[in-house]
Homo-oligomer: A and B are copies of this chain.
Amino acid sequence: MAGKVTSAQVAKRAGVSQSAVSRVFTPGASVSEKTAKKVRDAATALGYRPNVLARAMVSGKSRMIGLVVAYLDNHFYPDALEKLSNALQAKGYHVLVFMASNKTEIIDTVLEEILDYQVEGIITASVSMSSELASRCQQAGVPVVQFNRTQDLERVATVTSDNYQGGYDIAQFLAQGGHQRPAYIAGWEGASTQRDREAGFLDGLKDAGLTLFARGVGNFEADTAKAAACCMFGKRDAVLPDAVFVANDHMAFAVMDALRFELGLRVPQDVSVVGYDDVPPAAWTAYDLTTVRQRANRMVEATVAAMLEKIDHPASPARQVVVDAPLIIRGSARKPKGPL
Which listed residue (B47, B50, B85, B254) contacts A97, Cβ 8 A? B85
Which listed residue (B47, B85, B96) contacts A99, Cβ 8 A? B85
How many Å from the CB of A230 to the closest CB on chain B? 13
**Residues on B with beta carbons closer than 8 Å to the beta carbon of A257:** 284-286
**Residues on B with beta carbons closer than 8 Å to the beta carbon of A53:** 53, 56-57, 62, 117-118
Which listed residue (B86, B118, B285) contacts A261, Cβ 8 A? B285
Task: Check if A116 sits within 8 Å of B81, measured CB to CB.
Answer: no
Q: How far is the CA of A1 from the CA of B140 in the complex (A)?
A: 9
Task: Check if A118 sits within 8 Å of B52, measured CB to CB.
Answer: yes
Q: Give how many A residues have a beta carbon under 8 Å from the other chain's beta carbons.
A: 58
Q: How far is the CA of A67 from the CA of B94 in the complex (A)?
A: 11
How many Å from the CB of A21 to the closest CB on chain B? 15
Residue of B nearest to A67 (CB): B97
Q: How far is the CA of A112 from the CA of B112 in the complex (A)?
A: 29
Q: A95-B96, A256-B286 are in contact. Are A82 and B86 (CB under 8 A)?
A: no
**Any chain B CB within 8 A of the CB of A54?**
yes
Residue of B nearest to A95 (CB): B97
**Any chain B CB within 8 A of the CB of A3?**
yes
How many Å from the CB of A147 to the closest CB on chain B? 15
**Any chain B CB within 8 A of the CB of A51?**
yes
**A71-79, A170-178, A305-313: which lies at the interface:** A71-79
In chain A between 113 and 158, which residues have their CB closer than 8 angstroms to a CB of chain B? Answer: 113, 115-118, 136, 139-141
Residue from the set A89, A112, A141, A286 with the largest chain B CB neighbour count within 10 Å: A286
How many Å from the CB of A1 to the closest CB on chain B? 7
**Residues on B with beta carbons closer than 8 Å to the beta carbon of A112:** 49
Q: How far is the CA of A52 from the CA of B96 in the complex (A)?
A: 13
Task: Check if B94 sits within 8 Å of A97, measured CB to CB.
Answer: yes
Q: How far is the CA of A57 from the CA of B2 in the complex (A)?
A: 18
**Any chain B CB within 8 A of the CB of A317?**
no
In chain A between 233 and 271, which residues have their CB closer than 8 angstroms to a CB of chain B? Answer: 253-254, 256-257, 260-262
Task: Check if A140 sits within 8 Å of B4, measured CB to CB.
Answer: yes
| 13 more CB-based (< 8 A) A-B contacts, given A73-B280, A75-B78, A257-B285 | A1-B139, A53-B53, A64-B117, A77-B78, A81-B97, A85-B98, A86-B99, A89-B99, A94-B96, A253-B281, A257-B284, A261-B286, A281-B281
